[in-house]
Structure 1
């Protein structure tokens, strides 16, 4: 054998020449240091070397530049070394906060609060229709009939609103309109039947029938998102109550203005339901939920009606303040959901999230109670002849407000049965005490509502302290 050994491929061609990587002297400055410093943020935040490789490729680094300038075999080898250099200072910045998925226009909530409170002016304007001898237990004339109609109407319409909202979210406006077309008249007839059964005079029965009709129409309009239409329907009663401050309107004029509001509400609600029926049906809509799914909402409506009516027996201004505060309550419910999602993004463990969730819950509840107390104080100052609520009465109002807000919060997270049962227990305690010894006892209201609020708070902290509840 003579000469050097050569490897020749089978096809007779020469093997490709592999360029040798130049070894950089130890004293020479490594250009990779400058590149690592320039890409410091990228290298520290990268979870894999491929992320750095994508950045290097986007900056136009060619294979020849990587080999000859940086002395590495290819793009991925360079990226792996940069990734290894950033391991000691690894940091993963939190993602940029996105838009609040639960954001809502506060003016809409304010409008809904006004719409909830304005119907109370009908009782001021229609006082002459309810004039007469006292009802049972020494209550003002018409109280029993109106209370019976309100209890039946609130319970039915709460369940109806829940079912209609379910249909709106899954089946569209056509199915929602059909649900309201069947349920709203049935609720109005049921409440009117209770009113007629307990009314002692025809004027009381007529007023209660108008109240029941308005509640049914208002439920339909609120579900369909037509708060402005409902506000326009309330214009006759609102204008009449404003005129009553300056002039003593004749009974016939008062009666016409009171009747105009439920008639207008029925006309507007009927128009919106008909428009909903004309919309095309949703394709592939799921089967409607069972009727029992709305049962806890109906029980909550009945219990909340009892609690509010008992409060109104001793402090009508407090009940009006509670009604007006529902707009702020709704906005704070959305606020809690949005801040709960933000707390979930910021938390790194379950304990930290539970602490943040409880803090957000207490903050939103405190904000609502502050609004409720401010409304009660403002109405007491503006309402002619309204007595100032004492400390017990104010505490009873605030604890009842806490019960209602926490119940609505639990319902929003799907825990309708605990909220309904706790409210029913508080209502039964108050009714049992009233039947045993009738009278104005704010201490009983305070104890019952404070106990219910404590139970609801414990349930809410346990449920909403879990991350899965907010997804």
Structure 2
């Protein structure tokens, strides 16, 4: 000892209690930066997306931070306390996910090609106008076309179902049986109505072409189908410039039918030879029935429109490619609305705007066509609204309602025609009512997010 211990009086047997100095943490100067702030700044992006402090703790542990470093450098007793502090300091920020690819982005070239193959077959009636005579031949052509449209609409739907469930091979087998059967039935119908003659022959060629065209369209051979129409297009152009020999029209029409049938046969052979895929359950025939009924109703409406104003049918067929493009466009806009909406009401408004935009664009094109053709726009716009809205509902597998509405409209117009009522007012009232019902149904049914899955 360096010196004697001083004893207090009365306490000779004990040592005095010497107060122990208090441990005081030296206050950090105001100019010194908090190391936790430095850590938060360095890890800001990772901490900002964390939904719980445990995620921050895992991040710190993976960063190699030890318990001694936490205590000495950051003044926190353990890893989880530091993680909670960081989680509280950094505001939450969840980045938007990258935009997903749009599965409904319209294929402009494909829609243009389909528009051409929808419109160019009408030139066959210009080229072959002198091949049929009398009411019987015309009636046979119309009835045959209606039968072919109804059958091929139902067949195409069923083939698309088989294509989705079992691939090209399954769709090819369906078309290999259905297309010849439909062509034979439509040709027989035309023969029964018109009797033997050039009208029945034209109806048979028309039926064969429509069946072959359905095969090529379902299997995605639009370019091939366009090439098969070149003889008819060239012949119709020649008619406008000079008077070709009378025998040229049957040759060119037969060439188009033959080329289409050969192309369809080749496409079917290639499809059937494709490797079979794991097929799902076979869809029932009843699922395709409303599509056939809609094809029949649409054909009746087009025939009645042609009887009143033939140029309206031309304008309608020329607009079909743009109509199909707008169907894709609506589905794309609806998908964007579904992604951007945060509530049901917001989605309903966005979906309604998309419907108004697409339907308005289609009617604007028809109005321009009626102006160029010099026909009354109102009946054509009503028919266009009915057909486009019905096709839109069908694209969402809502088939029975548009089939029923279009059938009712077609039946009412046909009854007015048979009763010798003024066709213009009857067409306008029937089509306006049908369009109003279909648009209201589209707003209600397609305004539900579950419809766009």
TM-score (norm 2): 0.89
How far did 1:92 drift? 3.8
Return closer, same or farther for 1:103/1:56 CA change in 2, 3 Å cut-off: farther
Which of these residues, 112, 126, 144, is aligned with residue 114 of structure 2? 112
User: Do the aligned partners of 1:399 and 1:450 also contact (CA within 8 Å) in 2?
Assistant: yes
Return closer, same or farther for 1:269/1:430 CA change in 2, 3 Å cut-off: same
Partner of 1:179: 174
Task: Give the SS at the match of 2:115.
Answer: helix
Partner of 2:415: 432
Task: Give the SS at the match of 1:289.
Answer: coil
Return closer, same or farther for 1:280/1:47 CA change in 2, 3 Å cut-off: same
Which of these residues, 218, 223, 238, is aligned with residue 223 of structure 1? 218
Partner of 1:17: none
How far did 1:129 drift? 0.5
Say yes or no: does 1:468 pair with 2:442.
no
Return closer, same or farther for 1:207/1:22 CA change in 2, 3 Å cut-off: farther
Which of these residues, 433, 438, 443, is aligned with residue 456 of structure 1? 438
How far did 1:374 drift? 3.0
Partner of 1:343: 337
Q: 2-side partners of 1:156 and 1:460: how far apart?
A: 26
User: Do the aligned partners of 1:165 and 1:176 also contact (CA within 8 Å) in 2?
Assistant: yes
Partner of 1:95: 97
Say yes or no: does 1:331 pair with 2:335.
no
Return closer, same or farther for 1:294/1:68 CA change in 2, 3 Å cut-off: same
Q: 1-side partners of 2:287 and 2:65: how far apart?
A: 62
User: Do the aligned partners of 1:53 and 1:79 also contact (CA within 8 Å) in 2?
Assistant: yes
Instruction: Tell me how many residue pairs correspond in the alignment.
Output: 430
Which of these residues, 227, 252, 274, is aligned with residue 232 of structure 1? 227
Partner of 2:151: 156
Partner of 2:375: 389
Say yes or no: does 1:295 pair with 2:289.
yes
Return closer, same or farther for 1:67/1:103 CA change in 2, 3 Å cut-off: farther
Q: 1-side partners of 2:322 and 2:282: how far apart?
A: 31
Which of these residues, 273, 285, 305, is aligned with residue 278 of structure 1? 273
Which of these residues, 350, 374, 387, is aligned with residue 404 of structure 1? 387
How far did 1:464 drift? 1.1
Query: Can you give the 5+ residue segments of structure 1 that lack an aligned partner in the other structure?
Result: 1-19, 136-140, 381-387
Q: 1-side partners of 2:59 and 2:92: how far apart?
A: 17
Say yes or no: does 1:82 pair with 2:86.
yes
Rg (Cα) greater in structure: 2
User: Do the aligned partners of 2:165 and 2:281 also contact (CA within 8 Å) in 1?
Assistant: no
Partner of 1:199: 194
How far did 1:51 drift? 4.4
Moved more, 105-114 or 141-150: 141-150
Say yes or no: does 1:146 pair with 2:141.
yes
User: Do the aligned partners of 1:369 and 1:402 also contact (CA within 8 Å) in 2?
Assistant: yes
Task: Give the SS at the match of 1:184.
Answer: helix
Q: 1-side partners of 2:291 and 2:237: how far apart?
A: 35
Task: Give the SS at the match of 1:251.
Answer: coil
How far did 1:251 drift? 1.1
Say yes or no: does 1:255 pair with 2:250.
yes
Partner of 1:416: 399
Q: 1-side partners of 2:62 and 2:362: how far apart?
A: 52
How far did 1:24 drift? 6.0
Partner of 1:46: 50
User: Do the aligned partners of 1:22 and 1:71 also contact (CA within 8 Å) in 2?
Assistant: no
